[in-house]
Amino acid sequence: MLLKNFRRAALGFGLAVALTGGAQAEKVLRVGNMGEPESLDPHFVQGVWENRIVGNMFLGLTTEDASATPIPGAAESWTISDDGKTYTFKLRDHSWSDGTPVTAGDFVYSLRRILLPETAAEYASLLFPIENAQQVNSGEVPADKLSVRAVDDKTLEVKLVGPTPFFLEQLTHYTAFPVPRHLIEKHGQAWTKPENIAVNGPYTLKNWVPNDQITLIRNDKFYDAANVKIDTVVYYPQEDRTAVQKRFRAGEIDWAADFASDQFEWLKSNLSDETRVAPYLGIYYYPMNLRKPPFDDKRVRQALSMAIDREIITDKVLKTGELPAYSFVPPGAGGYGNPSMVSWMDEPYSARLEKAKALLAEAGYGPGNPLKFTLSYNTSENHKRIAIAIASMWKQHLGVETELFNSEVKVHYRALNSADFSIARAGWIADYNDAQNFLYLLETRTGPNNYSGFSNSEFDKLMVEAGTTGDMDMRSSLMAKAEAIAMEEQPVIPIYYYVSKNLVSDRLTGWEPNAKDVHRVRYMDLK
Amino acid sequence: MIAFLIRRLASAIPTLLVIITVAFFMMRVAPGGPFDEDRALAPDIEANILRAYNLDKPLVEQYFDYVGNLLRGDFGPSYKIRDFDVNDLILAGFPASLQLGGTAILLAVILGISFGTLAALRQNQASDYAIMTVAMIGIAVPNFVMAPLLTLVFGVYLSLLPVAGWGGGALENKLLPVIALALPQVAYIARLTRGSMVEVLSANYVRTARAKGLREQVVVLRHALKGALLPVVSYLGPATAGLVTGSVVIETIFDIPGIGRYFVQGALNRDYTLVMGVMIFYAVLIIALNLLVDMIYGFLDPKVRHG
């Protein structure tokens, strides 16, 4: 009986396959997204897991190709004024998914909306290169003073504070996505609900069950819909990397956007083709609090940095292909040549240790008076292992007594932002592919994000000059000079450059590794 | 009985108020706030956000605002999941937690009581030892070991069941999490039942029943079991509340959209309103279930009278 039922079921299934085989079977991409979004409103998005969703729903003036290089998006072309400060965009003839045309007015509205103080968007500061953006955000001037103007329905003019060579790159970011004014005015905050939303990108929202799944379906009104091959994208929010990996192995998901580092060995030998590790625009570093001793002494900072054997951290502790860092800007960052490395990078470790000991002795620390401080990190197995390894290098070679202090992430960053630490773990992933996005962290005017409180007038001056010159080679060399100062002063200890880690099914094509780790579904297909 | 109910319900109100008050202020004492991120907010932006959520008001004023909203049934907005209110999140998450927890507790009661009774009747025999050893292991092996093991065997190696996911509540998606959730409870209930059963079997009223010449089945099921269930029933109140409000571990491992995850996610994110909402919901459930337990007590044990 059981067998009979089984055979009947098998027959039915075969029939179903035969019937649908003639037409096109629906192509469903299932993504292990590693987090529940806070919002699908691009103005409130902050995380890469949210970008993986909204980046398929909305199309900025520029967008990314499969290798994450900026290409025309909602704008089909643009001109830049000679002083590099005025951009004029010609919009592509396209519409929202409800059929309403996308106009230059939509972009004006969107940029004003994210900057308005009452919107309270956490990421608004990314748009501060636009003239008056900062003043609008602080409420000093009304939103209509923002230098973004709809010349006509299809022409948008944006004026910047200074020439900003990464501006086109920055426009691919979700802070610059257009949002549908007509729907926000009608539905208010509820505009992102599936029944209300309209998008101008390749996929639109079908449903969102909190902590369960988010489903996107093809937007037939998308201007390039003819070239979009995957019909449906399902995002699972699961954060437990080991569990996600099991789902991947069981064929329940096609793309997992991260995996646990300690699984890398196993993955390499068992799923080598599907395990994708690539350089990622991010730096893992230890800022030191320069506002108080002993870190106000350059010699102490240099000594601590020299005594870290970074190859041990990357090759023995992490073992996921990360690269040891001797500069603050990762190699390959846009608008930049080779990063300025620390001067002692190529010296053998033993020679560096001798130098470090001498520097510490000069600063007054030694066996009789050991250097003591607290090293803080936020809860994570890797942060802990790295902190232990580094503390033991300092102890063994320099006699430094490090107290490790672990706290959960909110507490950790509250301490960093309020300068309440000695030396701490931090990381930075680029918002846009440009060296400036790293170096500005060390400028005095950056405020709390400059955790160290590094303040060097020469560095600041070079960065301001780099921000105002229209000559790209000049800009790059000014930033390189600034970085060289930072590497000599060493307010932060660079430890390693990040890598992105993905599990990508061999059924999924069109997924290209890239430094931004941005992969848009419109370029993918399922075999 | 009615008077008892009214008295209990009336006393629940101050209890809840104390819980709400203590929880509200304790959340705020914890260092770090909902908007402390690795990217420090510019002062203007931080001010905008705090204003938008009324977090710039004095704490006492925020407290009275919160309680005022609660009275209107409004748990407020989530600070971290902007597109949903706390009410939405609890309403969306509770059905999944209830289905899982409810099935698990039902399974645990049936299996636990059966095994416990069986062990007690075969006291100090091989089957008793076997059941109790398995039960001991069931209690000792934690969920976070059992659940990944189950997924590895049934999901990855045998490919019989999904490794994770809710699938809109499909049976195949529920099986593994229910088992993982129920196993420790089965074990615990079996031990509880056995313990009290052994005691009850030698009680005077059971001896009387036997002396009257009743069949063993009747003695055990009608007389002994009724008495032996008292400790199990009092355990079931909080256990049920615990299970139906969701297990963080199980929901995380199986990617289940229940409300258990909100406890931990909310607390780590300092999502004050979400944590408060889930906590109040949990408190109300515990109060209700304990009330139910007390009422069942009255039926099971004539010595307990609600007057």
In DSSP notation, A327-383 reads: SSSPTT-TT-SS----TTTTS-HHHHHHHHHHHHHHTT-BTTB--EEEEEEES-HHH
Nearest CB to A118 within list B52, B82, B251:
B52
Single out the residue of A365, A375, A334 nearest to residue A166, CA to CA: A334
Q: How far apart are CA B183 and CA A49, in angstroms?
A: 34
Q: How far apart are CA B75 and CA B82, in angstroms?
A: 14
Please name the residues between 104 and 123 in chain A that touch chain B, using a CB distance below 8 Å.
117-122
* Per-residue pLDDT at B240: 87
Single out the residue of A60, A91, A259 nearest to residue A176, CA to CA: A60
Nearest CA in chain B to A408: B268
Nearest CA in chain B to A38: B81
DSSP letter string, A424-446: E-EEEE-SSSSTHHHHGGGSGGG
Does A391 have pLDDT greater than 70? yes
For residue B304, name the pLDDT band (cuts at 50, 70, 90).
low
Helix (H, G, I), strand (E, B) or coil at A287: strand
pLDDT digits (tens, 9 = 90+) for A263-284: 899 999 999 999 999 999 999 9
Chain A residues in contact with B177 (beta carbon < 8 A): none
Kindly list the distances between the CA atom of residue A124 and the CA atoms of A280, A488, B270, in Å, as whole numbers in the listed order: 24, 33, 22
By mean pLDDT, which of A172-181, B223-232, B269-278 is the weakest? B223-232
Percent of chain A with pLDDT over 70: 95
Does A486 have pLDDT greater than 60? yes
Chain A residues in contact with B252 (beta carbon < 8 A): 238-240, 243
Chain B residues in contact with A252 (beta carbon < 8 A): 162-165
B31 with A414: Cβ contact below 8 A: yes
Joined together, the tokens standing for residue A153 give: 């329905």
Does A331 have pLDDT greater than 70? yes
Start-to-end CA span in chain B (Å)? 6
Does B307 have pLDDT greater than 50? no
Q: How far apart are CA A286 and CA A394, in angstroms?
A: 14
Does B264 have pLDDT greater than 90? no
Residue with tokens 């106000």: A296
By mean pLDDT, which of A11-25, A389-403, B197-211 is the weakest? A11-25
Q: How far apart are CA A208 and CA A82, in angstroms?
A: 46
Percent of chain A with pLDDT over 90: 79
* Per-residue pLDDT at A367: 87
Kindly list the distances between the CA atom of residue A113 and the CA atoms of A96, A117, A150, A170, A186, in Å, as whole numbers in the listed order: 18, 9, 15, 18, 15
Rg (CA), chain A: 25
Asked if A263 is an interface residue toward chain B (Cβ–Cβ < 8 A), one would say no
Rg (CA), chain B: 24
B44 with A38: Cβ contact below 8 A: no
Q: How confident is the model over B58-75, as a mean pLDDT?
A: 92
CA angle A255, A261, A266 (to 5 degrees): 80
Backbone torsions φ then ψ of B57, nearest 5 degrees: -80, 165
The answer to whether the CB of B99 falls within 8 A of the CB of B174 is yes
Does B278 have pLDDT greater than 70? yes
pLDDT digits (tens, 9 = 90+) for A405-463: 999 888 898 899 889 999 999 999 998 899 999 999 999 988 888 999 999 999 999 99
Q: How confident is the model over B215-220, as a mean pLDDT?
A: 82
Query: Which of B243 and A500 is assigned the larger pLDDT?
Result: A500
B40 with A413: Cβ contact below 8 A: yes
Chain B residues in contact with A408 (beta carbon < 8 A): 32, 268
Chain A residues in contact with B40 (beta carbon < 8 A): 413, 416-417, 447-449
Asked if A140 is an interface residue toward chain B (Cβ–Cβ < 8 A), one would say no
The answer to whether the CB of B75 falls within 8 A of the CB of B67 is no
The answer to whether the CB of A168 falls within 8 A of the CB of A107 is no
Backbone torsions φ then ψ of A265, nearest 5 degrees: -55, -50
For residue B35, name the pLDDT band (cuts at 50, 70, 90).
confident
* Per-residue pLDDT at A305: 97
The answer to whether the CB of A75 falls within 8 A of the CB of A156 is yes
pLDDT digits (tens, 9 = 90+) for A502-521: 999 999 999 999 999 999 99
The answer to whether the CB of A64 falls within 8 A of the CB of A523 is no
Chain B residues in contact with A417 (beta carbon < 8 A): 36, 40
Does A322 have pLDDT greater than 50? yes
* Per-residue pLDDT at A71: 96
pLDDT digits (tens, 9 = 90+) for A460-485: 999 999 988 878 899 999 999 999 99
A246 with B32: Cβ contact below 8 A: no
Q: Which one of A211, A416, A452 makes the best mutation probe of the B interface by having the most chain B beta carbons within 10 Å?
A: A211
pLDDT digits (tens, 9 = 90+) for A7-44: 344 444 444 444 444 456 899 999 999 988 989 999 99
pLDDT digits (tens, 9 = 90+) for A87-127: 999 999 999 999 999 999 999 999 999 999 888 888 888 89
Q: How confident is the model over B34-60, as a mean pLDDT?
A: 83
B165 with A209: Cβ contact below 8 A: no
Backbone torsions φ then ψ of B247, nearest 5 degrees: -110, 125
Chain A residues in contact with B92 (beta carbon < 8 A): 209-210
A212 with B96: Cβ contact below 8 A: yes
